[in-house]
A = this chain, B = another copy of it.
């Protein structure tokens, strides 16, 4: 179960980062994380702490909660933002 949440979380981070059009390396640098750590996060290998999760959310410009919403990939940015379109 833990592995599954890690994987879903990592995929979500990757989706949102891709939606920002940023490379994994540039995003890692901006978060102040080692590039290898960011790679492990996105692949579901790392077990990030609450503080690290907050850093990721801030870097991705979404609420922390948005990192745990299982939204379709194609609409991830929309789903992650506050819905204002009804």
Contact = CB atoms under 8 A, between A and B. Distances in A.
Interface of A: 1-2, 5-6, 9, 47-51, 53-55, 58, 63-65, 68-69
Contacts of A65: 65, 68-69
A6 B50 contact: yes
Contact of A5 (B6, B9, B50, B69): B50
13 contacts: A1-B54, A2-B51, A2-B55, A5-B51, A5-B54, A5-B64, A6-B50, A6-B51, A47-B50, A49-B49, A49-B50, A63-B68, A65-B65
Given A68-B64, A68-B68, A2 B48 contact: no
A9 B49 CA distance: 12
B58 A51 contact: no
Nearest to A53: B50
Given A1-B58, A5-B50, 5 more contacts: A2-B54, A9-B50, A48-B49, A49-B50, A50-B53
